Amino acid sequence: MSDRIKIAFAVPALPAAGTLVLFAGDDGQLTAAQRKWLGEEAAATAARAVTADAFKGKSNTGITVLAPAGLQAGRLVLMGIGSAKDRAMTDFVTLGGAVLGKGGTSKAVTVLLDGPKGWRTDAEAAADLALGVLLRGYRFDRYKGRKADDETPETVTVTIGTADPAAAKRAFRRRSAVAEGVNIARDLVNEPPNVLFPEEFARRAETLGDLGVEVEVLDEKRLEKIGMRALLGVGQGSRRDSRVVVMRWNGAKAQKARPVAFVGKGVTFDTGGISIKPAQGMEDMKGDMAGAATVVGLMHALAARKAKVNAIGVIGLVENMPDGNAQRPGDIVTSLSGQTIEIINTDAEGRLVLADVLWYTQDRYKPAFMVNLATLTGAILVALGQEHAGLFSNDDTLSERLAAAGKATGEAVWRMPLTAAYDKMIDSKVADVKNSAGRHAGAITAAQFLKRFVNDTPWAHLDVAGTAMGSLSSETNRAWSSGWGVRLLDRLVTDHCEG
């Protein structure tokens, strides 16, 4: 993860330089305690700025006062936290991102976590604020040879003044590990496909071994021996060999406790194969491995914070290219499960990768549940846009837990249907199943296809085509890739899987 942002916690004190951030409630007004902190002259300067800018103190908005009279700090930023109702529901992660957005051009930012009576200022709030700062501070500019002055990464030290710095620092350790995981996932998705192909992706996953994760890389010879012919069929038109990577974190107190499993689609570039995609926008298909990136980021987060859980991460890594050896529409392949698959569309390739990897995971590891992530269908964008990931599941409890984790983290999911009628749409006349049922209900029939490869294991499929790449800009993300899903799944593990 970039070391551009440094986080510190300290007892509240006015800084001798840099930017000072204070939080203002209704109508931008500071509390008596804050005005006392500032002193009479600086408090009067802040009040004049509030009036001049007609600042109302709405949540996550702010105004800046340059060279405020009476302060040594070069800038004073007043950040809004809204009305009493808004303050009761403050998302401190989002607020932290907004704070850096207002003060991040300074090399030193001091945030005094204080506000109107009743507003949370505890250690957990301080740690969440710091998490938001780290997420907002992410940049992916390693390939820019020339950078404008305002693009040059400066090290920014953000000091959060809080009543109990030691407790905030302890609470932040966990958040820091999660931020690292998110930014690792972002890096992987943002990498160009000529740099991040299956073998290189696998090599980067192997670095998790430094944290105590057991990593096993299965090459094509091994995959052929195992029988992952659905996965291998996708990559057979590429000069880049396919890989499957298995990552194991054994952190549960009971070593033999059943693991939980996370599976990711890792198509490092998707041309569509013989069913080739239109040229416009094809460059975005470097992100078709975002599901696998999230799994790697999650496994990093769990290991870095020493999560008390046994977790398995499995990713299928392929490149889908159209050469003379490429898979054709009309081909029939035999999957690891023994089920035969009629290829209708070679651009419906991610489900072929997942079919083998899901079967392998449930058969070998007997997990308590499996969650897979995949940028699987454009149809989910039509249905849900970029506001929610599509959630499909054979288990109500797992679905409810994912929905609750999504609400807590802001990585929202929306449950979609799975029924026998949709499943019938993927029946084949010449094989056990076909890999595409056409345009109607495309996201659902793709999920129905996956469901045939999980047996009775509690399972959820997250279609993240709208959330994990080409991401919406937010207070905590300004990058093309959001690292979506790392925080969601870490929260799922935290709430339900650690003893």
Give the gyration radius of the chain's Cα atoms. 25
CATH superfamily of 5-162: Leucine Aminopeptidase, subunit E, domain 1 (3.40.220.10)
Indicate the pLDDT class of residue 472, thresholds 50, 70 and 90.
Answer: confident
Poorest-pLDDT segment among 46-50, 216-220, 430-434? 46-50
Percentage of residues in the chain having pLDDT higher than 70: 98
Burial category of 172 from C-beta neighbours within 10 Å (exposed 0-12, middle 13-18, buried 19 and up): buried
Among 65-74, 172-181, 349-358, 436-445, the least confident range: 65-74
Residues 6+ apart with CB under 8 A from 190: 140, 479, 480, 481
pLDDT band at 145 (very low <50, low <70, confident <90, very high): confident
State the chain's mean pLDDT as an integer. Answer: 95
What pLDDT was estimated at residue 144?
A: 87
Closest by CA position to 114, among listed 193, 53, 32, 173: 32
Nearest-CA neighbor of 179 among 311, 307, 2, 372?
Answer: 2
The yes-or-no verdict on residue 470 having pLDDT over 70 is yes
Residue ranges matching CATH 3.40.630.10 in the chain:
177-496
Percent share of the chain, pLDDT over 90? 91
Higher pLDDT, 192 or 470: 192
Q: 392: Cβ–Cβ under 8 A, 6 or more apart, which residues?
A: 415, 416, 418, 443, 444, 447, 450, 451, 460, 461, 463
What class does CATH assign to 177-496? alpha beta
Q: Are strands 260-270 and 108-112 parallel, antiparallel or unpaired?
A: unpaired
pLDDT (tens digit, 9 = 90+) per residue, 363-380?
999 999 999 999 999 999
Q: Are strands 243-250 and 156-161 parallel, antiparallel or unpaired?
A: unpaired
**Rounded to two decimals, what is the model's pTM?**
0.96
Question: 159-204, pLDDT tens digit by residue?
Answer: 999 999 999 999 999 999 999 999 999 999 999 999 999 999 999 9
Residue 68 has pLDDT above 60, yes or no: yes
Can you tell me the distance from the alpha carbon of 133 to that of 93, in angstroms, rounded to the nearest whole number? Answer: 8
pLDDT band at 1 (very low <50, low <70, confident <90, very high): very low
pLDDT of residue 150: 58
Count of alpha carbons within 13 Å of 45, Cβ hemisphere only?
18
Tell me what pLDDT residue 2 has.
54
Which pLDDT belongs to residue 350? 98
Q: How many residues does the chain have?
A: 499
Confidence (pLDDT) at 153? 54
Catalytic residues: 277, 351
Cross-strand partners of 157: 6, 108
pLDDT-based confidence at 148, cuts 50/70/90? low
Residue 140 token pair = 């992916």
pLDDT in tens, 250-304: 999 988 899 999 999 999 999 999 999 999 999 999 999 999 999 999 999 999 9
Task: Dump pLDDT digits (tens) for 5-39.
Answer: 999 999 999 999 999 999 998 889 899 999 998 99
pLDDT of 3 over the 90 cut:
no
Domain with CATH 3.40.220.10 in the chain: 5-162
